[in-house]
Amino acid sequence: MDYLTARQTAEKWGVSLRWVQALLKAGRIDGAIRPARDWLIPKDAKKPRDTRVEWHKKEGGTDVK
């Protein structure tokens, strides 16, 4: 299986490195492993949904683009 680093995954998904790190810490990226200091994420891993947007909509907020 081929893996990407957290930084490479952030670039691929168009999000910040910090956001990918938060997703990893929360266990929201399937197949990610941490054999030493750095995370390895499968190349074919799917980007998890951003639940912050759903919460904001439930609270009556508006989307900001």
Helix (H) or strand (E) holding 2: none
Would you state the pLDDT for residue 57? 62
pLDDT exceeds 60 at position 65: no
Total-model pTM = 0.76
Would you state the pLDDT for residue 21? 97
Tokens 């299986």 correspond to 1
As a whole number, the mean pLDDT across the chain is 87
Residues 6+ apart with CB under 8 A from 10: 16, 17, 19, 20
Cα 64 from Cα 62, distance rounded (Å): 6
Distances (CA, A) of 42 to 6, 8, 24, 30: 10, 11, 12, 8
Cα 58 from Cα 46, distance rounded (Å): 24
- pLDDT band per the 50, 70, 90 thresholds, residue 59: low
Q: What is the arithmetic mean of pLDDT over 36-57?
A: 84
